[in-house]
Structure 1
């Protein structure tokens, strides 16, 4: 049996991590103490304790525990297994159905699943690595308590590994077992918050460190490094992790934090997601820099085109250039604010008709309809400007664009104030 399964905690007190929901006085402890278990959706990265918690709940409540993986079965198989289990209900208080990877069931299958949980004899504990609000049918969400499991802190991983080593020392018949703390820290640092991964790495390092001649085990940081592959980052391009990294990247650029911007860019580069990187850079150039630095969009476009032409790994260079440049640029949201105000009015107020002097007048008979008759051609006037109404009557005094407080926009604003005051 793998070490991670052999050492799986049997009590909630032995679990590490998830301090926001597990611990004395916390919600999951109270649920278990009261033995009143609701339907639950547990979501979060692998190796963070979702299955372990389900096992603990089933053993504490005295319910029959049925564990299935939605990847390998459909609703019919789930119903058949539950029906079979219900024949033994006289010796149990009900059924706990632990359904891993619930997102593998489509909407119709999830709707069918409602039938087996609504009568109360089956308590559903479903797990998923995806955001449940993206992948789980709303009717199931509304009948369930939702708990987020987060990557486990390296300090808690370290505690869990030390406990595992204590168990190994008790169970194994070696003359001596020496595992350096530095090696344990290294595992905790590189397991990406995944306790199962950490225990697997410890097991591999332990087996590698066995010296048969002296009947001893010695694990150093070199042993761990020899056994370790590259750290795997959590990134699902179409899921919650991917969107969150992109969001953090965009917000760091908007917030002018160069180092944070480069950090999140590195995560996206590691995931090979060049399309989403370039989309975000181009968006920031207009949405968050905009008219504060009008040439930002041109420079960013040049970097983006270079990156797409080069491909990875070289693409990381122009992408980083654009990232540092945009993070350093003065910021203005006047562009997106202006268009969003205009779009809001289209949806919410009566905007009226286009002024008749602005309507198309290129066809015969247009003048008979009064179209374009009173239009004044700006280039026929001093400074290529003449005062006339362009907005519909209903919103003629609306102001959508408000200049940002930066050198470029203020320069244009002052220019037009001087021109227009003489008209």
Structure 2
């Protein structure tokens, strides 16, 4: 058995991390201690204690525990568990731990509904993906979702030190782990306790005896070799991808260049150059926008440079783009304007294009009354003349509101002055 299984906690008090769920007096802890277990879905990254907590909860509830994995379970496997309800072992109800429930199809999930409804099966499901996207709604409505979080390094360190003690006891000789080694393993695992324990096991098995031949000392260099880049939690199709992308954009929008380059670095360390480029391009228009109109051209040049260079050199122009936008003035007025216009169009709030601005570049257009009253703005002072452009049903509708930044306020002042002069001239 792997060390992570040999050292698995037997009580909730032994579990590291997840104190928002497991602390005495918390809702989850009270439920677990009561033995009256509802249907639950554990959502969170791998290696943070979902399976361990499910086992402990099942043991405390005194129910027959069955375990299935969504990656391999078939409908026949589910029906076999249902069949046990009529046997002596299932008389008190069955607790089903269903790991990776997101891999079950809708029909397989529906097979459980009747038995969840009458309480003959209690479901504890776990998933590394957002359950609201991957779990059937009828299952969700009958379950309570509890989110498990990556374990903080100081909590992981407790498990690491316990693991070294366990390995020393099993091997029968002292194993010295300097504090800096335990800190490094705890930090590098990215909140995944299982990864940290695997690193401990590799360190112990991959380290030779000291000069005396009676003990081992784990060096930082050896720990760095086995831990590698385990801190990277990233999946281009999973929650981690969208969380990092969201954090990148919100950091730039919030004018925090340090956070911006941090999340950009996480994308690039995972080799996801295309996603970083796409997101930076949209931020240039969505969040910087008209406050600094030239920004989109600069960001496009940075993105083109990065794609031509590739990694690792491509990180430099992308960092330039991220920092430029994080420190630039912000405006989302263009985004708000197109959103408001799209809302009207999608709701059917529009009518025919005014005849004066319809296409008139063909024979017979004049006979149809198209373009007859159109006035070319370039023929007038300031290249402006007041005329109707919106459809009759939307006449006077305002979509674009000038932002409070210097650039847009300058444009507003320019056009306010021109339009005021033309109104005065019309009098």
TM-score where L is the length of structure 1: 0.93
C-alpha spacing 1:56/1:86, structure 2 compared with 1 (3 Å)? farther
Q: Distance in 2 between matches of 1:351 and 1:261?
A: 40
Who is 2:327 aligned against?
Answer: 328
The match for 1:276 is 275
CA offsets 1:58-84 (integer angstroms, 9 cap, x no match): 111111111111211211122124424
Partner Cα distance (1:377, 1:184) in 2: 75
The count of residues paired between Structure 1 and Structure 2 equals 421
Q: Name whichever of 95-104 and 353-362 sits farther off.
A: 353-362
- Alignment correspondent of 1:188: 186
Q: Secondary structure at the match of 2:279?
A: helix
Cα distance in 2 for partners of 1:362, 1:191 equals 67
Asked if 1 retains the 8 angstrom alpha-carbon contact of 2:187 and 2:231, the reply is no
Counterparts of 2:224 and 2:243, CA distance in 1: 30
Secondary structure at 2:258 match in 1: helix
Q: Map residues 288-303 of structure 1 onto 2, 5 A cutoff.
A: 288-303=287-302
Secondary structure class of the residue paired with 1:96: strand
Give the aligned CA root-mean-square deviation in angstroms. 2.1
State how far apart, in whole Å, the 2-side matches of 1:140 and 1:196 are: 29
Number of the residue aligned with 1:202: 200
Q: Which residue of 2 aligns with 1:73?
A: 73
Whether 1:228 aligns to 2:227 is: yes
Q: CA deviation at 1:172?
A: 5.1
Tell me, yes or no, if the aligned pair for 2:167 and 2:201 is still in contact at 8 Å: no
Paired residue secondary structure (1:98): strand
Residue range with higher mean Cα deviation, 334-343 or 165-174? 165-174
Distance in 1 (alpha carbons) for counterparts of 2:49 and 2:257: 35
Shift of 1:119: 3.3
**Shift, 1:188, TM fit:** 0.4
Retained in 2: the 8 A contact 1:47–1:197?
A: yes
Deviation track 1:164-186 (CA, whole Å, cap 9, x = no partner) reads: 34445555532x44322221111
Give 3-state SS (helix, strand or coil) of 1:5's partner. helix
- Could you tell me how far apart the structure 1 residues matched to 2:395 and 2:82 are? 67
Q: Paired residue for 1:313?
A: 312
- Corresponding residue for residue 375 of structure 2: 376
Q: Which moved more, 1:222-231 or 1:300-309?
A: 222-231
Q: 1:290–1:333: 8 Å Cα contact kept in structure 2?
A: yes
C-alpha distance in 2 between matches for 1:32 and 1:291: 54
* 1: CA distance, partners of 2:304 / 2:19: 45
Shift, 1:358, TM fit: 2.0
1:93 aligned partner: 92
Tell me the residue number matched to 2:425: none
Instruction: Tell me if structure 2 keeps the 8 A contact 1:75–1:113.
Output: no
- Asked whether the equivalents of residues 209 and 219 of structure 1 are also in contact (C-alpha less than 8 Å), the reply is yes
Distance 1:118 1:217 in 2: 56
1:227 deviation in Å? 3.3
Unpaired runs of 5+ in structure 1?
A: none
| CA deviation profile, 1:285-343 (whole Å, cap 9, x unmatched) | 11111111111111111121222222222222222222122222211111101111212
Rounded Cα–Cα distance in structure 1 between residues aligned with 2:416 and 2:292: 21
The answer to whether 1:140 aligns with 2:139 is yes
Greater mean alpha carbon deviation, residues 152-161 or residues 110-119: 110-119
Q: Does the 8 Å CA contact 1:79/1:116 hold for their aligned counterparts?
A: no
Distance 1:119 1:375, change over 3 A: same
Summarize the Cα distance change of 1:226–1:400 in structure 2 as closer, same or farther, 3 Å threshold: closer
The verdict on how the C-alpha distance between 1:206 and 1:394 changes in structure 2, with shifts beyond 3 A counting, is same
Give the match's secondary structure for 1:127: strand
Q: Deviations over 1:354-408 (max 9, x none)?
A: 3232223344444344332221111221222111121223322222111222222
Structure 1 residue 260 displacement after superposition: 0.7
User: Helix, strand or coil: the match of 2:41?
Assistant: strand
SS of the residue corresponding to residue 20 of structure 1 reads helix
